[in-house]
Chain A
């Protein structure tokens, strides 16, 4: 599979530069894909990729370690969210996202927070902590909360 992985970095890059959307930071994205290819074998050295479905918190930590990213990094959280979707689809087994994986904080979540609290001074860490607390209080993991906000709340009240 190694050859396929390397070949498809070029394919992703070709796709990105010709895509109508997501037209930013091509070279950074290419480097991220190359790094992922480099570390992928370590991530599946002892377990298959789908085995991580049972422990997505550890997988997020391993992935962020390998990619040299902070575990709260938006892309790491989003990658786990999409991994969870994919694993759910192919295994037909629903496993809730772990409560300890923080929400992928982006501009729309910052906007919702700042509008609700008229607070433009909070740091990203404080905003992430707010969503984390909201998730725990309602017993809905932050990545599921992200879906709810993204799909329903934003449409009705955003």
Chain B
């Protein structure tokens, strides 16, 4: 067996379980130069942006997400379908003229159904990730800023909720409150803030003792200044990267709830619920009721993850140069 171990140590983006993925789109030696001797050096934001743009997979991900948003929100204007009236005379039609992907058990056009379901998945995914990120950031920042007993108690609460599988907590909450769109956003957002809380707390703990933050203090800068001008800009990258992965997770959670029959009520739907309805016919080979929704979930989640990986690579470039 030949190995590459004898060669020079490979240049590798640090850390993270998918960190190395960016490597094949943006090799480390083609990174933009941090600046020239003449003129202003490029800002760190600009630098990160250039790395992101060079990452072809991340751009593909971004384009796919944009297309998915267009499909779900603009699609119904171009391709209007009736998603309210049940029409059993045209139930379970195979794909053909008039219905490119057939119809489901209630006679709804599957393409139109994908659009409506995608609206739920995307709205809940984005909004829940936003809630989770804000709550988690505030929680983690407070714990990290005060430290000591406050930090200990706040983080044990995070540990305790993390010990309960999020799906179990979510299922319990939706048996108390029957889910509508705002309830779903709220419930998923309030169960998903733990990871950002941990991240922000850890970052602020390490940043607090960094040389440049101490330098601000030595030069007489207030703690407000060091937080807003020096700590925040450095934490924000990590938070944004994590928010991206939160979107992907939230889209999957919506699908799981829908699949388990505890998601949003009909005639509204989401991709998981569509798939769940399709499974009744799995032995009749009504493939158009299963695969379109399933692949829609996979494609969007993969795309969001690719964007997240690209963002992480560009944030790491910023961190290396600071």
Whether chains A and B associate is no
